[in-house]
Amino acid sequence: MGHIDRTLEGQREEFIEREFLATPLVGILIWLIIGLAGLVLPIKAVVWTLFIGTSSTVYLGLFISKFTGYSLSAQPCHFVDNGLR
C-alpha cells in the first residue's frame, strides 16, 4: 500500500464537502422510536411500531435525501439485473 500524505485539515475539508447520506439518519431515528415504543407501549403496539418503522425506512430515506442534497432515487440500481438491458 502506498502512503498517502494528507494533512488533517485537508481530510476535514474533504469530509465536510461529502454529501450527507440520509439512510443512516433515518435508521437511527426509526430504531430510536422503536426502542422508546418498546419501553412505554404494550406489546401489540410495539409489534406494529416495528412493522411500520422498518417498512417505512426506505421511503423516509428518500424523503430526507431531498433536503440533504443527496438524491437516492437518481442513482442506478446495481443489485438487480433482470436481463432487460
% residues pLDDT > 90 (the chain)? 33
- Residue 58 belongs to some domain of the structure: yes
Say if 37 falls within a structural domain. Answer: yes
| DSSP secondary structure, the chain, as one string | -PPP---HHHHHHHHHHSPPPHHHHHHHHHHHHHHHHHHHS-HHHHHHHHHHHHHTHHHHHHHHHHHHT--STTSPPSS---S--
Give tens-digit pLDDT for 26-46. Answer: 899 999 999 999 999 999 999
Which region holds residue 55: left if phi is over 0, alpha if psi is between -120 and 50, else beta?
Answer: alpha
Q: What is the largest CA-CA distance in the chain?
A: 56
What's this model's pTM, rounded to 2 decimal places?
0.61
Judge whether residue 52 has pLDDT over 90. yes
Asked whether residue 49 is assigned to any structural domain, the reply reads yes
- Domains identified in the chain, total number: 1
Question: Is pLDDT at 14 greater than 90 in this prediction?
Answer: no
